[in-house]
Amino acid sequence: MADFSFPLLTATAAVPAIGAVATAAVPAAKRTAAKWLALLFSLATFVLAVVIAVRFRPGAEGPYQLTESHAWIQDFGVRYELGVDGIAVALIALTALLIPFVILAGWHDADPLESASDSGSAAGSNSRWRPTQGFFALILAVEAMVILSFEATDVFLFYIFFEAMLIPMYFLIGGFGDRAGAHGEEQAATQRSYAAVKFLLYNLAGGLIMLAAVIGLYAVTADQLGSGTFSLQQIVEARTSGKLDFGTGTERLLFLGFFFAFAVKAPLWPLHTWLPNAMGESTSPVAVLITAVVDKVGTFAMLRFCLQLFPEASSWATPVILVLALISVIYGALLAVGQRDIKRLIAYASISHFGFIILGIFAMTTQGQSGATLYMVNHGISTAALMLVAGFLITRRGSRLIADYGGVQKVAPVLAGTFLIGGLATLSLPGLAPFISEFLVLVGTFSRYPVIGIIASVGIVLAALYVLVLYQRTMTGPVKAKVEGMPDLRARELVVVAPLIALLLFLGVYPKPLTDIVNPAVDHTLSVVDKKDPKPAVRVDAVPGAGRPGHAVHDQEVEAAK
């Protein structure tokens, strides 16, 4: 039953969905009106996300709050069930926060080329019509589907929106791709089409395998419970009480079906190859939408569905998944070091960061999973800041190649400064938000898998290398000819970047508001998986005073720790 009379979760997803329809319906000549309408709907969604965060009570009884449950397709056990835990609240807030900045940053990205006149435009001229209304409507449609994915507690309902979001993303990549770095419109269109099709095929393949697992899940519940169900909470309760037993082989097959789809979305090595193409050929705001918003659905679903539905299979697969995540960390960072394209460098850096997130999830410790959840949020903010500033830089010069830049800090110091802060956040500098996330992930991983934790730390060194080399080559040194006269950040661009940098600083110094929301949900997930934090190994003879008279209580505590 619903625990809140107003359907707040439905409203939070419905507002951007309605905004998408309304924006698409604006007459073609009213491009500016469409932009403002999309921005207003995104701000309204953010207000509702704030209301969700305010009404949410960390540590309250039950795994989900603000729940909604209605009959939908009764013959197949499908219900319209929504609910949020602390992890979902944090990611809904991240999504709703970033979309207004994505819209503002892409203010001119879908304008006809001959009329785009400020930093959102690219060099060159072309009279081809780019439907502005469609661009912003698609962004709002993606937001609605992502939010519903975070809210859904019915597996089939989640699957629908998990797959449906691919369609607007396909058109955003293929129809509104990057205007910089291509030799002519024909080649640019070819590259965009390739990236969009690759994105769609990879994710559809994962989705089809997941669909088979979803059907299998229904068949098992129908056989053992008398009627099939897709309700996450009902399945978890039935499994915990012993009424539902998948069997070892069946559970592992179902787990693999779910995990494969989420690993493609995440993206996890070796299923990652679609991401550099998609981000490289997208506009910078759409690239942010991909890696900071859409890809988070994959890692979120690992926590909500893989671990809670299939705890035994999750433990069984953990060693292999940790190795794959470790490869992602090192491989992504190494390829980022060797990139010549700014946007592809950021894409490979994101692959490395997602490796850290998955490490934290499958370390099966409170520090690891809390760090992974914080990493999802902080990576979204830091990548958005870096990618959007990089987009402002690229549109000024008309090139994505690192070699085409130099001396930017002398002609555009504010742009260079914000680029540096975004880069330092990406390498997890202490004092900026991603640092605490990466620290918790490494501590949580090391406490259970010390060798993997040590090797993963190499990713920190490589991150410093690719970020600082990128900054040095683009921002320092002599001013290159085509960089001379480059304008600094304008008011609209500062409105986009300044709040993100402020958040990076605030959460880097004071992450408690996020940890308070996230930690109870992490504790619940670990209890469902039946995992406890490993106790530290402490030698009694290594503790001062141990074994001496008057230290009996202390000695007992040491023995308990052992």
More confident position, 297 or 223? 297
Q: Mean per-residue pLDDT for 439-467?
A: 92
pLDDT exceeds 60 at position 36: yes
| Count of beta carbons in the 10 Å neighbourhood of residue 504 | 25
The answer to whether residue 2 is domain-embedded is: no
Q: What is the pLDDT of residue 554?
A: 44
Q: Mean per-residue pLDDT for 538-559?
A: 47
Residue 425: which of 416, 414, 411, 437 has the closest Cα?
A: 437
pLDDT exceeds 60 at position 58: yes
Same domain, 554 and 467: no
Q: What is the pLDDT of residue 229?
A: 86
Residues 6+ apart with CB under 8 A from 61: none
Which tokens go with 159? 């699957």
More confident position, 56 or 178? 56
DSSP string, 387-444: HHHHHHHHHHHT--BGGG---HHHH-HHHHHHHHHHHHHHTT-TTSHHHHHHHHHHHH
The answer to whether residue 48 is domain-embedded is: yes
The answer to whether residue 255 is domain-embedded is: yes
Q: What is the pLDDT of residue 3?
A: 47
Q: Mean per-residue pLDDT for 194-215?
A: 92
Residues 6+ apart with CB under 8 A from 400: 178, 180, 181, 280, 341, 342, 343, 344, 394
Q: What is the pLDDT of residue 30?
A: 85
Res. 119 pLDDT band, cuts 50 70 90 = very low
318-373 pLDDT, tens digit each = 999 999 999 999 999 999 998 898 999 999 999 999 999 999 999 999 999 999 99
pLDDT exceeds 90 at position 470: yes
| Least reliable range by pLDDT among 90-99, 119-128, 456-465, 482-491 | 119-128
Same domain, 105 and 187: yes
Res. 102 pLDDT band, cuts 50 70 90 = very high
State which of 175-179, 186-190, 195-199 shows the largest mean pLDDT: 195-199
Same domain, 40 and 70: yes
The answer to whether residue 3 is domain-embedded is: no
| Count of beta carbons in the 10 Å neighbourhood of residue 327 | 16
Indicate if the alpha-carbon torsion angle 126, 132, 136, 141 is positive or negative: negative
523-532 pLDDT, tens digit each = 888 888 877 8
Tell me the pTM: 0.88
Same domain, 208 and 69: yes
Same domain, 462 and 383: yes
pLDDT exceeds 70 at position 546: no
Which tokens go with 236? 């978890």
The answer to whether residue 256 is domain-embedded is: yes
The answer to whether residue 1 is domain-embedded is: no
Residues 6+ apart with CB under 8 A from 239: 245, 246, 309
Please state, for a pLDDT cut of 90, what percent of the chain lies above it.
59
Of the chain, the end-to-end C-alpha distance in Å amounts to 45
Residue 311: which of 373, 383, 362 has the closest Cα?
A: 362
Q: Mean per-residue pLDDT for 25-47?
A: 91
User: How many structural domains is the chain composed of?
Assistant: 2
Same domain, 114 and 226: yes
Same domain, 205 and 137: yes
Same domain, 504 and 459: yes
Give burial (CB, 10 Å; 0-12/13-18/19+) of 423. buried
Same domain, 216 and 261: yes
pLDDT exceeds 90 at position 195: no
Q: What is the pLDDT of residue 423?
A: 93
Same domain, 508 and 558: no
Res. 180 pLDDT band, cuts 50 70 90 = low
pLDDT exceeds 50 at position 305: yes
Q: What is the pLDDT of residue 545?
A: 52
Same domain, 307 and 435: yes
Which tokens go with 188? 């640019």
| Least reliable range by pLDDT among 320-334, 387-401, 548-562 | 548-562
Q: Mean per-residue pLDDT for 285-297?
A: 93
Contact 258, 306 (CB under 8 A): yes
Please state, for a pLDDT cut of 70, what percent of the chain lies above it.
89
The answer to whether residue 541 is domain-embedded is: yes
228-253 pLDDT, tens digit each = 888 898 898 888 888 888 888 999 99
Q: Which domain holds residue 549?
A: 536-562
The answer to whether residue 106 is domain-embedded is: yes
pLDDT exceeds 60 at position 118: no
| Least reliable range by pLDDT among 29-38, 121-130, 169-178, 346-355 | 121-130
Same domain, 558 and 475: no
Q: What is the pLDDT of residue 123?
A: 34
